[in-house]
A and B are shown apart, each in its own frame.
Chain A
């Protein structure tokens, strides 16, 4: 019976990177007419499995079946030719060529491509623009439209909604619904469990490279109401998180669940502390306009904004990476003129960038990654501090970094890489910490550890500015929150009373009604 024959299946697939086993004996099957969620904490092996299905890396062992027939897939071109199209987190488009040239290289007719683009309201896109000049969210749509134009049987979508606006994400969901009705299949890799419940039919959970659970709610629900939503809505988010973490999660400890108090209790009492860092009328072109705020010792100040409101530029001004076109930065009350991050770090103002490519030395060991700031001054060049090893060990312990693959940081999981990025400043020391979306794409467990650490640092007297794209985090970790829209600070709220809806309203530039 062809209905039960999986469209795409792996049988006991295994893959190791050096000594680290990324996947072990994974069975994974996608049926026709379903949207299948692939879930797991960071380092669980999701990306590895996607790469094997997409032909990026060959599996060390195991079989791959397409429509019941065993297949060998050696390269992405093979996967494409058997009807598997993948949209990776980084768009697979050539930056120095135009969109049209990219299509030509993929043998795709422009008319078909434009048809799919119109799904996302992008039919006006100039296909003669260089890929390099287009914003990331557009590129993800272009990449998706190209994947669709290949007319595949299976779509693999890796964190497709990460860079999209809510509106665009909505269109992707309606597309997936249609896709399912055509009897094709889609695999959705995501950290957003709400999406899974809304759109998916089944979910496979990976943990430590193994397939640990398959959620398969009663399929009759779909047939019964014929609705556009998936059947996963019957599954509680808590169940999914438990399966991902392998432990029972109490409601209050689940990071998404509001009203968890363990972290909030750590918040410092509202005793006025000295101002550690301040911005006065900071501007940079049209991107950042007249931004002022004060940051006190022991405080975590949240920053919320929709994508592309100038928050990246603001952080590069605050960290000394760029010079503001006007306005001042004050550290400990005195005005600073920085020309490079060197000066900011010298004043104890340090940055953890959002993009890990900007922090890590991928081919060097954890230790070398952690010690870089110890040598920023020329007078530190000709020696190595006697306590270097001790400091490194302390940071590794405090962050509980998994050092099994410590010889090359690129082999660590995303969560561990983020810990290394933070650990660098634990080793070097700082007074003001600028944190840009430190939990983006990171699993629940690591998120919890990072929040606890931030509170601990604040309690120790650090001043922290935290930009985050996950609004639920604000209430959990911050004391106050600023909302940025179109380059300006448009609102300030007390984090304890900031709800997702009040934050979102303000972030859209609308007035929040009390």
Chain B
């Protein structure tokens, strides 16, 4: 009896791995890149790991949020602007405040942006305007607010808060324990939420086939709004991580726009198809780290940082082309 149960469990695991081979592949790629990076530079140790993990935080958070929204069949082009808004609010109001107050502000911001973006999800659901259009517009609005709150770069936060994300009160050096914890705890929480709760499954359901989901008696709107709420909360985390990393706020529009585009790239590289309903949050996490890691790797190889952009673009296009080619061949041979 026990053995049959166990073998059934193993079979489920195997089927699961086969279904999510892309996500697995991204983690393998990340490991391979880390090993390669370690051989490229003379000394590889705590400093490099800390630096990669803490610098990845904002993109990883955004990628998690974007992944949930994309899985639900949407896309959010305002996540970068939400990052800016949080960054501006945090830098302005956390400046010279005690740690407890700073933490309080942080929690308010996470909850507040969750609610704000839930509202955006609700508007999308009610209006029938495509996600991409609504979030394009709200992206302008949030960027505008960010600029209004913090007209020029500045502000600050508590040293303890910087330690929370970077492992060092100065934001420089430190250990990798904190950044990795801060990366993996939200990632695993959102992952478990998405695969093992009813609301998480209904997020997959509406992205996979929203008509069937409605016919099966699911509340499509609630699932949609929930996905946007999670996206907003993750964008807030990304903004907080940015304050912690840089120690200031920077409300430039282009910063937000780039962050949004990178989050979409990370999601797609991580195996979350833009059509929705498939992929894992954890794949997007690994892809986010890979995108950030490219910079130090290229500079270690002595390549001009301008070329990093080219290589990143070629990597994204190349991986997606190979993916497309593989499905094409598989269809032909099936």
A residues contacting B by CB (< 8 A) are 54, 56, 75-77, 80, 86, 88, 90-97, 101-102, 104-106, 128-130, 322-323
The answer, among B209, B214, B215, B217, for a CB contact under 8 Å with A95, is B209
Of A56, A97, A129, which is within 8 A of B205 by CB?
A97
A90 to B213 alpha-carbon distance, docked (Å): 12
B209:A94 contact, CB within 8 angstroms: yes
Q: Are B215 and A105 in contact (CB under 8 A)?
A: no
Is B208 an interface residue when CB atoms closer than 8 A count as contact? yes
Cα distance, A130 to B217, chains bound together (Å):
19
* Residue contacts A-B, CB under 8 angstroms, 10 given: A75-B217, A76-B217, A77-B217, A77-B219, A90-B212, A92-B216, A93-B216, A94-B216, A97-B201, A97-B205
Closest A residue to B15 using CB positions: A128
* Complex CA–CA separation, A128 to B11 (angstroms): 10
Contact B208 A95 (CB under 8 A): yes
B12 contacts the other chain (CB 8 A): yes
**In the complex, what residue of chain A is closest to B215 when comparing beta carbons?**
A92
B86 interface hit (Cβ, 8 Å): no
A106-B212 contact in complex given A94-B204, A97-B205, C-beta closer than 8 Å? no
Contact surface of B with A, Cβ cutoff 8 Å: 11-12, 15, 19, 198, 201-202, 204-205, 207-209, 211-219, 277-278, 332
> Distance (Å) between the CB of A329 and the closest chain B CB?
17
Question: Please, how many angstroms separate the alpha-carbon atoms of A101 and B201 in the complex?
Answer: 7
Complex contacts, A56 vs chain B, CB 8 Å: 214-215
Across the two chains, which residue of chain A brings its CB closest to B218? Answer: A105
How far apart sit A101 and B198, CA to CA, in the bound complex (Å)?
9
Residues of B within 8 A of A86 (CB): 215
**How many angstroms between the C-alpha atoms of A93 and B198 in the bound complex?**
15
Residues of chain A contacted by B208 (CB below 8 angstroms): 94-97
Q: Within the complex, which residue of B198, B201, B215, B277 is in contact with A88, where a contact is CB–CB below 8 Å? A: B215
Q: Which residues of chain B have C-beta atoms less than 8 A from A90's C-beta?
A: 212
> Which residues of B are found within 8 Å of A101, using beta-carbon distances?
201, 204
Determine the chain A residues whose CB is within 8 A of the CB of B12 once the complex forms: 128
Contact A104/B201 with A95-B277, A97-B208, A128-B15 known, Cβ cut-off 8 Å: yes
Q: For residue B215, which residues in chain A have a CB less than 8 angstroms away from its CB?
A: 54, 56, 76, 86, 88, 92
Do the beta carbons of B216 and A105 come within 8 Å of each other? yes
B194 CB to closest chain A CB (Å) equals 12
- In the bound complex, residues from chain A placing their C-beta under 8 Å from that of B218 are 77, 105
Bound form: Cα–Cα A483–B13 in Å:
43
Smallest CB separation, B149 vs chain A (Å):
40
What residues of B have a CB within 8 angstroms of the CB of A96 in the complex?
204, 207-209, 277-278
A421 to B209, CA, bound (A): 26
Q: How far is the CA of A76 from the CA of B214 in the complex (A)?
A: 7
Contacts of A54 in B (CB 8 A): 215
Expressed in whole angstroms, the Cα–Cα distance for A436 and B209 within the complex equals 27
User: Given known contacts A96-B278, A104-B198, A105-B202, what 5 new A-B pairs fall within 8 Å (CB)?
Assistant: A76-B216, A94-B205, A101-B204, A105-B201, A128-B15
> What is the bound-complex CA distance between A92 and B205, given in angstroms?
11
Instruction: Please report the C-alpha to C-alpha distance between residue A301 and residue B47 in the assembled complex, in whole angstroms.
Output: 76
Inter-chain CA distance A129–B214, complex, in Å, is 22
Task: Report A-chain residues with C-beta under 8 Å of the C-beta of B277.
Answer: 94-96
Which residues does chain A contribute within 8 Å of B216, judged by CB atoms? 76, 92-94, 102, 105-106
Give the distance in Å from the alpha carbon of A86 to the alpha carbon of B236 in the complex. 42
In the bound complex, what is the Cα–Cα distance between A322 and B208 (angstroms)?
Answer: 27
Assess the B204–A91 pair: CB atoms within 8 A: no
- Establish whether residues A94 and B217, one from each chain, have CB atoms under 8 Å apart when the complex forms: no
Known A105-B198, A128-B12, A130-B19; judge A94-B219 contact (CB<8 A). Answer: no
Q: Are B212 and A92 in contact (CB under 8 A)?
A: yes
- Residue of chain B at shortest CB distance from A102: B216
* Minimal Cβ-Cβ distance residue in A for B333: A285
A54-B12 Cα distance, complex, nearest whole Å = 35
**Which A residues are CB-close (under 8 A) to B198?**
104-105
Residues of A contacting B219 in the complex (Cβ-Cβ under 8 angstroms): 77
Once bound together, how far apart are the Cα atoms of A95 and B213, in whole Å?
A: 10
A106: chain B residues at CB < 8 Å are 216-217
A59 to B12, CA, bound (A): 44
B214: contacting residue among A75, A91, A102, A128, CB under 8 A: A75
Q: Evaluate whether A91 and B201 lie within 8 angstroms (CB atoms) in the complex, with A76-B217, A96-B277 already known.
A: no
Q: How far is the CB of A292 from chain B (nearest CB, A)?
A: 24
Tell whether A97 pairs with B214 under 8 Å between CB atoms, given A104-B198, A128-B12, A128-B15.
no
Q: How many Å from the CB of A212 to the closest CB on chain B?
A: 29
Interface centre among A86, A94, A97, A323 (most CB of B within 10 A): A94
User: By the criterion CB–CB under 8 Å, are A80 and B212 in contact?
Assistant: no
Q: In the complex the two chains form, is A105's CB within 8 Å of B212's CB?
A: no
Give the complex CA separation of A106 and B198 in angstroms: 9
Min C-beta distance of B60 to chain A, whole Å? 24
**CA gap between A323 and B217 in the complex, in Å:** 41
Across the two chains, which residue of chain A brings its CB closest to B217? A77
Complexed CA–CA distance, A381 and B104 (Å)? 63
- A16–chain B nearest beta-carbon distance, Å: 19
Question: Whole-angstrom distance between the alpha carbons of A360 and B265 in the complex?
Answer: 33
Nearest first, the 3 closest Cβ-Cβ pairs linking A and B are: A92-B215, A96-B208, A96-B277
Once the chains are docked, how many angstroms separate the CA of A95 from the CA of B204?
A: 10
Chain B residue numbers with a CB within 8 Å of A77 are 217-219
In the complex, the chain B residue whose C-beta lies closest to that of A92 is B215
A322 to B19, CA, bound (A): 26
Set of chain B residues within 8 Å of A75, measured between Cβ atoms: 214, 217
Whole-angstrom CA separation of A88 from B217 in the bound complex:
13
* Minimum C-beta distance from A315 to chain B (A): 16
Q: Which residues of A contact B213 (CB under 8 A)?
A: 94, 105
Interchain nearest-CB distance for B280 vs A (Å)? 12
| Most-contacted residue by chain B among A56, A90, A91, A93 (CB, 10 A) | A93
Q: How far is the CA of A129 from the CA of B209 in the complex (A)?
A: 17
Among residues of B, the one whose C-beta sits closest to the C-beta of A325 is B333
Q: How far is the CB of A89 from chain B (nearest CB, A)?
A: 11
Minimal Cβ-Cβ distance residue in A for B8: A128
Q: How far is the CA of A75 from the CA of B215 in the complex (A)?
A: 8
Q: Once the chains are docked, how many angstroms separate the CA of A102 from the CA of B216? A: 9
Q: Which residues on B sit within 8 Å (CB–CB) of A105?
A: 198, 201-202, 205, 213, 216, 218
Docked pose: A105 CA to B200 CA in angstroms: 10
Residues in A neighbouring B214, C-beta threshold 8 A: 56, 75-76
Contacts A90-B212, A128-B12, A128-B15 given; does A97 touch B217 at CB 8 Å: no
A362 CB, min distance to chain B CBs, angstroms: 13
Chain A residue nearest to B195 in the complex (CB): A101
B residues in contact with A80, CB < 8 Å: 217
List of A residues within 8 angstroms of B332 by Cβ: 322-323
Q: Which of A54, A96, A323 has the most CB of B within 10 A?
A: A96
CB distance from B167 to the nearest CB of A (A): 38
Which residues of the partner chain A approach B217 to less than 8 Å between Cβ atoms? 75-77, 80, 106
A21 → chain B closest CB, angstroms: 24
Residue of B with least CB distance to A79: B217
A76 to B204, CA, bound (A): 19
